[in-house]
């Protein structure tokens, strides 16, 4: 009998992405951790630290399971952009990203039933067109930005902002599928 998969995230986007590769977690158990960046912490180590902290917080509650956790960070230079919780934050993020390239990092962590742990951080470079104030307002009015890192969701209306993408599209959505599949397989996860 294969060990179950536990997703340490409440993100419906991650559930959808996993289903695209035939993975349906037996349990969804989001980690409740402090996500405040540490002083002088860069976006790559921040994404990795949070993914590991989430997996390690949830794993003790699910003996005999594989626990998968991830954290996605949008960065403009060394600056970590927040998850947009209000329209003003989303507007500031979009204005900053307008006409520029930025990076999206997702830290992925898998804890195996025997306690072994595998980590990876994946980077995707995304280019945005210059966004007029009217275009930004249209996007704000859509509400798609709500709760999204960097104030946008590439899998929705914001896809028209993208002038170029180098790396994994699913990484920008919230879970790099190729790397996640490799981490699970490397620790011995077998599909049921």
Catalytic-labelled residue, pool 71, 86, 141, 146? 71
Whether 110 and 184 have beta carbons less than 8 Å apart is answered as yes
Phi first, then psi: give them for residue 100, nearest 5 degrees. Answer: -130, 165
Whether 71 sits among the annotated catalytic residues: the reply is: yes
Whether 66 and 4 have beta carbons less than 8 Å apart is answered as yes
Phi first, then psi: give them for residue 166, nearest 5 degrees. Answer: -120, 110
Query: What is d(CA 21, CA 134) in angstroms, rounded to the nearest whole number?
Result: 38
Residues with active-site annotation: 71
């Amino acid at each position: 009998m294969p060990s179950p998969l536990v997703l340490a995230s409440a993100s419906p986007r991650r559930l959808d992405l996993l289903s695209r590769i035939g993975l349906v977690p037996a349990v969804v158990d989001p980690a409740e951790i402090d996500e405040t960046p540490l002083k002088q912490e860069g976006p790559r180590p921040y994404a990795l630290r949070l993914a590991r902290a989430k997996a390690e917080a949830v794993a003790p509650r699910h003996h005999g399971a594989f626990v998968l956790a991830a954290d996605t960070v949008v960065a403009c230079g060394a600056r970590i952009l927040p998850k947009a919780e209000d329209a003003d934050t989303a507007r500031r993020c979009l204005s900053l990203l307008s006409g520029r390239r930025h990076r999206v990092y997702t830290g992925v962590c898998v804890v195996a039933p025997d306690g072994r742990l595998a980590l990876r951080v994946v980077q995707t470079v995304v280019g945005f067109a210059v966004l007029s104030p009217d275009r930004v307002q249209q996007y704000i009015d859509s509400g798609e930005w709500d709760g999204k890192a960097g104030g946008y969701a590439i899998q929705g209306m914001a896809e028209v902002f993208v002038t170029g993408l180098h790396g994994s599209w699913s990484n920008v959505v919230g879970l790099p599928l190729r790397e996640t599949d490799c981490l699970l397989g490397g620790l011995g996860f077998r599909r049921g």
